[in-house]
Amino acid sequence: MYKISSKPIFKVLLLVVMDVLILVAVDGIALIARFEFSINAIQHQYIDASLQALLPRAAITLIIFFATHMYHYMWRNVSIRDVGWMILSVLFAYSVNFAVCALLKIDVMPRSIYFIRLFLHLFFFVGMRCSLRFANMIRNEFTPGKAQERIMLIGAGDAGRMLIKEIASSHKIPGSIVCVIDDNEAKWGKYIDGIRIIGGREEIISAAKDYRITQIIYCIPSASPEEKQAVLNICKETGCRLRNVPGIFQLVNGEVSVDAIRDVQVEDLLGREQVKLNLEALNAFISGKIVLVTGGGGSIGSELCRQIARYSPRTLVILDIYENNAYEIQQELRRNYGASLDLRVEIASVRDREKLRELFDFYRPDLVFHAAAHKHVPLMENCPSEAIKNNIFGTYNAVCAAEEFGVRRFVMISTDKAVNPTNVMGATKRFCEMILQSRQDSKTEFCSVRFGNVLGSNGSVVPLFKKQIAEGGPVTITDKRIIRYFMTIPEAAQLVLEAGEMAGRGQIFVLDMGEPVKILTLAENLIRLSGKTPYKDIAITEIGLRPGEKLYEEMLMSSETLSATANKKIFIEQQRPIPRETIAEEIAAFSKEIEDGAASEKLIALLHEFVPTFRTPEEVNSAARLKAKIEA
């Protein structure tokens, strides 16, 4: 029930005056109605009796109304339950008035007048308090622009009830809820604040047509990701705009409101199980430590900083060459943590070996998360020297500084493209893994964490698709057969921290990316989530594979050398040690060729020589196409 704890006294006095005027008006209307709407026919004794009883009746009514909180309702938000309490309050006041007047033998009237008064009391006292709610409903239905949004609500639980009240009283969503869907059969045919629960998920598509739905709000915060995915996959077939409410923890905190509603994102359709972290172990791993994050302004790096900040590090150092990104995460963390977080930001490149040594010497970090890297596949195909300088030399510089200045644990962010790489970026990241494998005898514990595509990261396919959809299309995909593995940015960062906590020397941790997703399906879903129809409203165009791109991304979990960890989403791929001398010689060879201005072809040839699993994309894609034909 929506109540106000206190109201300005003048508003309460105004309501009291209105209630007294209603009492007077009702008495007059009842007398006129009883005597066939002829004022001259009303006997004076009834007028005198009504005036004589007015003062005690008004006093009793006001006392009871105060006691039953009739002056504490928010008129814009009254619910069916509130109306029920109002009716009971009016009936109680009327009964007490009738009993008192009967005992005092005042207000003696024809019996029909008592019934007319009762009806009019209910109509005016309750109707007045519901007037604003009725006005909102009428405005939502008939005002131009408002009527365009007809909303279907998925979920008739507590969160759904709260949201119905919020939307009815808010001007932030231009429309009204016209029907509710819930899989609980016991609720079918019932009403929430006058809105009917019409059935389960099997009714979604037909109801969207019958009720002319333009927007669907999914409002089951406690649902599992798999359950949510199943329902949203039905909803996206309607062509309606899909929106979502927060998770269950926000419901508990009372944060389910119109402001919290957001559009359904493509990650909501993945149905991935929520990451379960060992919070106690992570707290012991990070709390009180000096933590340095290279590339801390990037997509993964910034999310790592957010996650690390939660575990009370002694100092968090963000290192990035791009000042704008570093500034944004710095301001965000300062807003959220203030002086409770010792936050430092350093603008520097991992290519600058002496600057890195200076920073490592000054801060003496306990933990390093190395996220700085060039990652765009087509760009690195054209600029192999930059990929080598930033990815390979940058990692080597950070590794050497970590050893020299006593870093306890060093965690490098790797990629699925390092698995049998077919491009320069993947080959350089595989070489970075090899650098860490050469440090298994080090006092510093070095490990890599390897995962696939991250939804929404800078330069990823999802922001590109969204931009193309906003511009009216077409959405461009490289090949309709291409598949990729995806996870969300927070999920990736959380699993990196967990892997870092359990890491041993030279290990490569592989994250379970779940089921593969066809890029074509991803594009179609994004178009539907925008409220448009693929191929009708937005075209999808195939433009061909980019340089260095695989047709089918290889599964990270297929290796027979993987072993399980305590976290079922994290596996360890066993790697053979590599001599330090071998890596040092290969680094020197790269450095000499770059200093001598070697052509890109020469640098790529060196990558093929030093990374035995580096193959050409033509070789891999041809084999994939042949395999697909055989299976077909």
Boundary-marking domain end, from 133, 159, 174: 133
CA distance 168 to 82: 15
Q: Residue 597: inside a domain, yes or no?
A: yes
pLDDT at residue 139, rounded to an integer: 58
Within 13 A of 619's CA, how many CA atoms are on the CB side?
A: 8
Strand 195-199 to strand 191-192: parallel, antiparallel, or no bridges (unpaired)?
antiparallel
Q: Is the four-CA dihedral 357, 360, 366, 367 of positive or negative sign?
A: negative
Tell me: pLDDT of 605 over 90.
yes
Q: Residue 555: inside a domain, yes or no?
A: no
The pLDDT confidence band at residue 1, using thresholds 50, 70 and 90, is very low
Task: Identify the residue with better confidence: 521 or 439.
Answer: 439
pLDDT at residue 458, rounded to an integer: 59
Q: Residue 495: inside a domain, yes or no?
A: yes
Mean pLDDT along residues 150-161: 85
Query: Do 128 and 155 belong together in one domain?
Result: no
Query: Do 305 and 443 belong together in one domain?
Result: yes
Task: Identify the residue with better confidence: 458 or 51.
Answer: 51
Percent of the chain with pLDDT over 90: 30
Query: Do 301 and 437 belong together in one domain?
Result: yes
pLDDT at residue 274, rounded to an integer: 54
Pair of tokens at residue 155: 């979920």
Query: Do 397 and 286 belong together in one domain?
Result: yes
Q: How many domains does the chain have?
A: 3
Instruction: Lowest mean pLDDT of 20-29, 255-264, 559-568, name the range.
Output: 255-264
Query: Do 439 and 573 belong together in one domain?
Result: yes
Instruction: Lowest mean pLDDT of 298-302, 329-333, 454-458, name the range.
Output: 454-458
The pLDDT confidence band at residue 346, using thresholds 50, 70 and 90, is very high
List of long-range contacts for 557-562, beta carbons under 8 Å, 24+ apart: 557/510, 557/512, 557/513, 559/510, 562/510
Task: Identify the residue with better confidence: 318 or 82.
Answer: 318
Tell me: pLDDT of 112 over 80.
yes
pLDDT at residue 427, rounded to an integer: 94
pLDDT at residue 248, rounded to an integer: 38
Percent of the chain with pLDDT over 70: 81
Boundary-marking domain end, from 207, 230, 264: 264
Query: Do 25 and 106 belong together in one domain?
Result: yes
The pLDDT confidence band at residue 256, using thresholds 50, 70 and 90, is very low
The pLDDT confidence band at residue 145, using thresholds 50, 70 and 90, is very low
Q: Which of the residues are catalytic?
A: 417
CA distance 587 to 144: 68
Boundary-marking domain end, from 230, 264, 298: 264
List of long-range contacts for 84-90, beta carbons under 8 Å, 24+ apart: 85/1, 86/125, 86/126, 86/129, 87/122, 87/126, 89/64, 89/65, 90/121, 90/122, 90/125, 90/126
Q: Which residues of 62-96 are buried (b: 16+ CB within 10 A; e: fewer)?
A: bebbeebebbbbbbebbbeebbebbeebbeebbee
Tell me: pLDDT of 335 over 50.
yes
Strand runs (DSSP E) across 371-458, as ranges?
A: 409-415, 445-451, 453-455
Q: pTM for the whole thing?
A: 0.63
Q: Residue 379: inside a domain, yes or no?
A: yes
Mean pLDDT along residues 288-308: 93
Which of 259-263, 292-296, 551-555 is most confident? 292-296
Query: Do 127 and 165 belong together in one domain?
Result: no
Query: Do 300 and 179 belong together in one domain?
Result: no
DSSP bridge partners of 368: 292, 410
Residue with tokens 């894609």: 621
Give the CATH number of the domain where residue 316 resides.
Answer: 3.40.50.720
Tell me: pLDDT of 555 over 60.
no
pLDDT at residue 459, rounded to an integer: 58
Mean pLDDT along residues 486-492: 76
CA distance 124 to 365: 72
Query: Do 356 and 439 belong together in one domain?
Result: yes
pLDDT in tens, 158-213: 778 877 877 766 666 677 788 999 998 888 888 787 788 889 999 999 989 888 88
Query: Do 341 and 205 belong together in one domain?
Result: no
Mean pLDDT (the chain) is 81
Query: Do 240 and 354 belong together in one domain?
Result: no
DSSP bridge partners of 552: 483
Helix 279-286 and helix 489-502: axis angle, to 10°? 70
Q: Residue 103: inside a domain, yes or no?
A: yes
Mean pLDDT along residues 124-145: 66
Q: Residue 361: inside a domain, yes or no?
A: yes
Strand 453-455 to strand 517-518: parallel, antiparallel, or no bridges (unpaired)?
unpaired
Can you give the residue range of the structural domain that contains 604?
279-454+487-513+560-622
Query: Do 356 and 436 belong together in one domain?
Result: yes
Tell me: pLDDT of 235 over 80.
yes
Q: Residue 143: inside a domain, yes or no?
A: no
Tell me: pLDDT of 252 over 50.
no
98, 101, 102, 108 alpha-carbon torsion, rounded to 10° = -100
Q: Residue 17: inside a domain, yes or no?
A: yes
Give backbone dihedrals phi and psi of 509, rounded to 5 degrees, phi first: -95, 135
Mean pLDDT along residues 344-362: 96
Largest CA distance in the chain: 118
